[in-house]
Amino acid sequence: ELKSLGLDLRYEAMSGRPLRHLLVDAFALVVESCRRQLGIVHHDVQLLCGLAMSRGRVAEMKTGEGKTLTAGLLAYLGALYGRGMHVVTFNDYLAVRDRDLLAPIFSALGITSGVVFDGLPPAERRQAYGCDITYGAAKEFGFDFLRDRMTLRDTGMTQGCVMRGTFFALVDEADSILIDEARTPLIVGLQDSDEQKLINDCCSWAVEHAKSFVEGVHFERHPKNRTLQLTPAGSQLVRSLPDTAGTRKSSHRDLASYITNALIARRDYHLDKQYAIQEGKIVIIDELTGRPAVHRQWQRGIHQAIEAKEGLVVSPVNRQAATLTIQTLFRKYEHLCGMTGTAYSSRAEFRKVYGKRVVRIPTHRPLQRQQYPTRVFGSSEKKYIAIAEEVRQCIDQGRSVLIGTRTVNASERLSEALNQHRVDHSLLNARYLDKEAEIVEQAGQPGRVTVATNMAGRGTDIKLHSSVREAGGLHVILTELHESPRIDWQLIGRG
């Protein structure tokens, strides 16, 4: 019966009826399908959020209010037109999780759904885009769009393309994707093997000799914008350094650039702060979100200089074949909307860049969270003592505790301090990303203490044990404030 009603509604959509005329019936079908398939009934605030997004708004919906189910409302509405509905998530894990959760709802209504993720073969990728609804991370949609443009440019034919176009996009974590990542370039590159050998040799040479350069004598630093300039004495020192097979083929200007990058890598980029090492590769740690940015590289040779500094295999330097920013990509969609837990502080940017208004959605139940004033300490030691005392009080009450830090180093220093004060805890940072779901799943148990960088828990709900709920809920401690208040609120919102 549901499928029959869904097909009837799809026929109306294909006949050209606008979104607003189909909205009531579409939402009603999704709600009923969700009730039958998952045993869950949507709250009024979820319907309100779906309504706001159907009008092209960015909805601020607080953490834990059910954004995944809400996305299903609009995903179905957009899918009715048969032109491709893209649900954009923050990473591959969330894309697979959300699609698997909602697939039975869509299937019962006669709608197909697929997911694109890193490493998916082209044939399966094309099949996923051929579905009515396609889930995926922003980077996947971006790179596929670029590759399709290159195929069209080179062949003039659409047979090799995987996407069907840019019709409708719903962006989850809209502030992170559309604001924080907006200007991050997505680059498809071409490699030259001979040039790569020369770069490998020169990077290793530069790292080996960079320690000979003295600040104030051979170079001057500009910490604010992370630039560095060689002095005449430094330039002369570059000329006097021993030659290698690679350096003999390079100009003095290029060699000075390699040395400059090696110095910047030594002084301004630090392991477990700006980057981590995973499977023998340098992975950037995003300064705003604290999450590893697996497919991102620093430009102008900095990434290769850091790899050489750490003694790793230097990755290929790609010549740009095509490039695109996240901002440019999503402005190409005919229909664009989004939702997130922290959008209101960025409402001016959404309006200016995307022409989108931000709407605040009320919570399903009155907010009970208590927020205490910020406390400032004269030293890290005093702060750690205060944190340990506060954690013990919460454990004695039968509550669970989530402690947020800004960097991997900070989380590990705090972990050592808690060990000294004999406070049992779990540590979650960019080193233990593979254990994220497991650790966060246990974070709501009585007496459980979780120390995490701000990447932790994002997209994964902390389920509270009933006794924790009765004792006062999850206690959240922010050990530092971030440059972006949104990141603080992503942690505060867990309370």
pLDDT, one tens digit for every residue, the chain (495 residues)? 888 998 899 999 988 889 899 999 999 999 999 999 999 999 999 999 999 999 999 999 987 788 999 999 999 999 999 999 999 998 888 899 899 999 999 999 999 999 999 888 889 999 999 999 999 999 899 999 988 888 887 777 777 789 998 999 999 989 888 987 777 777 665 555 666 778 888 888 888 888 888 888 888 887 666 678 899 999 998 888 888 877 888 888 888 998 889 988 888 888 877 888 887 888 888 765 566 776 677 877 888 889 888 888 887 765 556 788 889 999 999 999 999 988 888 889 999 999 999 999 999 999 888 989 999 999 999 999 999 999 999 999 999 999 988 877 888 889 999 999 899 998 887 665 556 667 777 888 999 999 988 654 455 678 889 999 999 999 999 999 877 777 787 788 788
Phi-psi domain of 309 (left: phi exceeds 0; alpha: psi -120 through 50; beta: other): alpha
Please state, in angstroms and rounded to a whole number, the distance separating the CA atoms of residues 110 and 127.
17
* pLDDT attached to residue 468: 94
Please tell me the predicted confidence (pLDDT) of residue 457. Answer: 44
Sign of CA dihedral 274, 116, 441, 177: positive
CA dist 350 and 174 (Å) reads: 10
Q: What pLDDT sits at residue 456?
A: 45
Please give the pLDDT value at position 462: 81
- Alpha carbons within 13 angstroms on the beta-carbon side of residue 222 total 7
**pLDDT score of 214:** 86
**CB-neighbour burial class of residue 327 (10 A; exposed 0-12, middle 13-18, buried 19+):** middle
| CA–CA gap between residue 93 and residue 89 (Å, rounded) | 9
Nearest CA to 66 among 85, 49, 52?
A: 49
The pairing of strands 426-428 and 335-340 is unpaired
For 1-112, where are the E strands, in sequence order? 58-60, 85-89
User: 258: closest CA among 203, 195, 198?
Assistant: 203
Catalogue the E-assigned strands of 51-198: 58-60, 85-89, 113-116, 133-137, 168-172, 185-190
User: Do the beta carbons of residue 281 and residue 322 sit within 8 Å?
Assistant: no
State the CB neighbour count (10 A cutoff) for residue 178: 27
Can you state the angle between helices 252-268 and 232-240, rounded to 10 degrees?
110
pLDDT, residue 459, reads 56
